[in-house]
Structure 1
Amino acid sequence: MAKENSRLRRIGDQMQRDLSVLIQQEVKDPRLGMVTINAVKVSRDLSYADIYFTCMAFGDNAEAEQQRADQEAVLNKASGFLRSMLAQEIQLRVMPQLRFHYDTVLETGTRLTGLIDEALRQDQARHRDDD
């Protein structure tokens, strides 16, 4: 069991490294900007791999959200090409289907940090008022 999980993690790590290079060098879509592959989670039966990425998006929230959605669509459209390129690099009996997902961890972390800072400021203001 542990050996299988270790193998899946190694496959995911290798896919992450190779995909980072392939996306940067081989995918030529102008809608695709700076993409960072954060994690690759491979299913136990190697039928699919969930790839979590972040990208640089500019503009207001609606515009940035649209850019992220466009980049996710571009990556999912290019998944067949990327899968075939990965199959040449990684020797597996079955190459998993690639599914790209935008990773919201960074945004969630930033939002939570802001909320914590705001709560600390409010707490300090209350303590000053009490004194």
Structure 2
Amino acid sequence: MSRHSHAKGRETGPSQRQLRAGELIRHALVEVLREEALAEPVLHEVSLTVSEVRMSPDLKHAICFVEPLGAGVTGQSTSEIVAALNRASKFLRGRLARTIDMKFTPDLKFFHDDSFNSAAAMDRLFTNPRVQADLHRDDEGEED
């Protein structure tokens, strides 16, 4: 019987090791993005939030979720910014290798984090007058 046979057939979340490595990479990546001048002109004058880094089980691949702040102000679209980050991923990986203490520096793949858009849509929904009326009607109807 293998060590991991209990997880077969079930989806399990990331291990503690993956979570710790992801946070280590996220913090180091934020520092590198803040301090380094990247060659990609699209990334000049763009502030980024690195919201999450998901690591593969072998810790050799990292999926980095980013949200550009003020992308519309600089005239760059989110997809252009994410594409520029992916083009600069080898450079960023090299810089990460100098700052983190891991056996392997993972390959980086960047994606736009849609959770910010989802949260904004839910906020708009909850501030909708029709939804507010339903919420207040439910509150008045409940008795403790």
Q: 1:47: how far off?
A: 2.5
- Alignment match, 2:141: none
Contact 1:27 1:78 in 2 (8 A): no
Q: Output one character per residue of 1:72-112: Cα deviation in whole Å (capped at 9) or x when no partner.
A: 01110110011111112222222211000110111111101
Gaps of 5+ in 1: 127-131
- Tell me which of 17, 24, 30 is aligned to 2:41: 30
Is the CA contact 2:21–2:59 (under 8 Å) kept in the aligned structure 1?
A: no
Please, which of 104, 110, 117 is the counterpart of residue 120 of structure 2?
110
Q: 1:58 aligns with which of 57, 65, 72?
A: 72
Please report how far the alpha carbon of residue 7 of structure 1 lies from its aligned counterpart in structure 2 after TM superposition: 2.0
Q: Paired residue for 2:142? A: none
Between the aligned partners of 2:36 and 2:97, the Cα distance in structure 1 is 15
Aligned residues: 121
- Point out the structure with the larger helix share: 1
Percent of aligned pairs sharing the same letter: 28
Structure 1 position 45 matched with structure 2 position 58: yes
Superposed counterparts of 1:1-131, under 5 Å: 5-28=15-38, 29-32=40-43, 33-56=46-69, 57-58=71-72, 67-118=77-128, 119-121=130-132, 123=134
Aligned equivalents of 1:93, 1:18: Cα separation in 2: 15
Normalising to structure 2: TM-score of the pair?
Answer: 0.72
Measure the CA separation in 2 of the matches of 1:27 and 1:82: 11
Large movers: runs of 4+ above 6 Å: none
TM-score (norm 1): 0.78
RMSD: 2.7
Report which stretch shifted further, 98-107 or 23-32: 23-32
Query: Which residue of structure 2 lines up, in the alignment, with residue 129 of structure 1?
Result: none
Which runs of no fewer than 5 residues in structure 2 stay unpaired?
A: 5-13, 138-144
Q: Which moved more, 1:36-45 or 1:50-59?
A: 50-59
